[in-house]
Amino acid sequence: MLGLASSPRALRWLSSGVRTQARARALTPAPAPGRISRETAPYSTVPLSYDLHEPAKPVADKQTSPVIFMHGLFGSKKNNRSMSKVLARDLGRYIYTVDLRNHGDSPHHHQHDYPAMASDVAEFIQQHGLKEPTLIGHSMGAKTAMAVALQHPELVANIVSVDNAPVDVRLASDFARYIQGMQKIEEAGVARQADADKILEPYEKSLTIRQFLLGNLHRPDPAQPVQKFRVPLSILARSLDHLGDFPFKDPSQVRFTKPALFVRGTRSKYVPDDVLPLIGQFFPLFELADIDAGHWVISEKPEEFRQAVIRFLEPKE
């Protein structure tokens, strides 16, 4: 069992609906891992599709201190479009919303785990010449942001992890059930989203979640009415166990000693109190913002989330 390597210091944020509870600091620094170059990286990277949201009054060019926004499982860059526009406006920074591998318009690849996704994002940062970016990720995107920070700390200024933690957990059975329902839709060869929704309803009662999942449907052949999912269901089905894992196990060997914000939904189970000491070991300068929401923090409480991010990223005196 890991011992407590950090001592929380209470903080208060004067923002409605947001409660910052702790900043943990390491007692001793750990050596940062070396950069994994494209030539020596053990993972084949894929080029990530992205949208660029430009601020009306930029404080720097699009390569300096941008934000890279990453979605969760079954999501895409479209999910964070509205929040990215707001953050670009409020921060004066360019926001890159990306499609992670096997999602949205990014290429499919048989390997779908956090080291591979982290390598994709590191390659994206280097290819676009981005300097000191902030990484924001929700759920699967949160663990990807953590993995990039630990694997390539020299490429990242800070991170915002939304409702996930650097621990191995078993994914809820909901995700496997979603894939079963989505596979049934493809087998049925549906032409209308209403028909797809009827097939999916026995697998998920929430209309909001069904609409989120069905947002992945498209017509690969415009001349044919049959709809398919953009996400490769068979690859994701085989990868579910990997998506519950976290690739770094020993915080005495690797730490991200730059600022990190962990935003959690207080009605979600993904960041329980008992993992906070481990977060402090991997991310000794972490801050914690609690928002009265479930797992879908950004869509459930967008204003509280915006306030938390602005507070974290605004210049400190």
Active site residue 128: no
Burial of 234 (0-12, 13-18, 19+ CB in 10 A): exposed
Q: What string of H, E and C letters represents the secondary structure of the chain?
A: CCCCCECCECCCCCCCCEEEEEECCECCCCCCCCCCCCCCCCCCCCCCCEEEECCCCCCCCCCECCEEEECCCCCCHHHHHHHHHHHHHHHCCCEEEECCCCCCCCCCCCCCCHHHHHHHHHHHHHHCCCECCEEEEECHHHHHHHHHHHHCHHHCCEEEEECCCCCCCCCCHHHHHHHHHHHHHHHHCCCCHHHHHHHHHHHCCCHHHHHHHHCCEECCCCCCCCCEECCCHHHHHHHHHHHHCCCCCCCCCCCCCCCEEEEEECCCCCCCHHHHHHHHHHCCCEEEEEECCCCCHHHHCHHHHHHHHHHHHCCCC
Q: Which has the closest alpha carbon to 108: 206, 214, 232, 283?
A: 232
Active site residue 16: no
119, 139, 239, 268: the catalytic one is: 139
Tokens representing residue 1 in the block: 């069992």
53, 103, 138, 295: the catalytic one is: 295
For residue 168, give Cα distances in angstroms to 58, 181, 250, 268.
Answer: 39, 26, 12, 16
- Residues assigned a catalytic role: 139, 295
